[in-house]
Structures are given as structure tokens and as C-alpha cells.
């Protein structure tokens, strides 16, 4: 069983927003990289942020369908 989030924990929406921002920032760093190794590192970080954002979107959808999160509107 997953422990309940405390009121201090960020919402899924906030976490998703942070990952989107991180993804954009890392993608910009790819363009500004001075070496191929730097570009590859920033590309991997951008891909990881995208992966995490997608997983958060899946979680949000799952919670919406299950009716677990009172802050989310019910699924149509």
C-alpha cells in the first residue's frame, strides 16, 4: 500500500509542472552544450524528465479514474 501524501507534499500537477520545466531547461542546454558529452548528458536528463512527466500524467489519469484525488475532476 502506498502511504498517503502529507499536506506538505507537492501535488501530482505540481510535480508534472516541475518535470516539464526541467525537460525544457535540459533541452535548451543540449543546444548550448560545448562538447558532445555535455550534449548527451543534457539529452539524457531531458529524456528522464519527459519520462517522469509522462508517468505522473498516467498516475493522475489513474487517480482520476479511481476517484482517489478529490482535487481532480472525474474522468469523462
Lookup: cell for 66: 479511481
For 10-55, write each residue's pLDDT tens digit: 888 899 999 999 999 999 999 999 999 999 999 999 999 999 999 9
Residues 6+ apart with CB under 8 A from 73: 64
Any idea where the domains of the chain sit in the sequence? 12-66
pTM for the full predicted model: 0.71
Alpha carbon distance 67, 57 (integer Å): 15
SS3 state of residue 10:
coil
Amino acid at each position: 500500500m502506498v502511504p498517503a501524501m502529507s499536506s506538505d507534499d507537492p501535488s501530482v500537477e505540481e510535480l508534472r509542472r516541475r518535470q516539464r520545466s526541467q525537460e525544457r531547461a535540459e533541452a535548451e542546454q543540449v543546444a548550448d552544450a560545448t562538447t558532445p558529452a555535455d550534449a548527451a548528458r543534457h539529452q539524457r536528463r531531458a529524456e528522464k524528465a519527459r519520462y517522469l512527466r509522462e508517468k505522473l500524467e498516467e498516475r493522475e489519469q489513474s487517480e482520476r479514474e479511481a476517484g482517489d484525488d478529490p482535487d481532480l475532476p472525474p474522468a469523462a
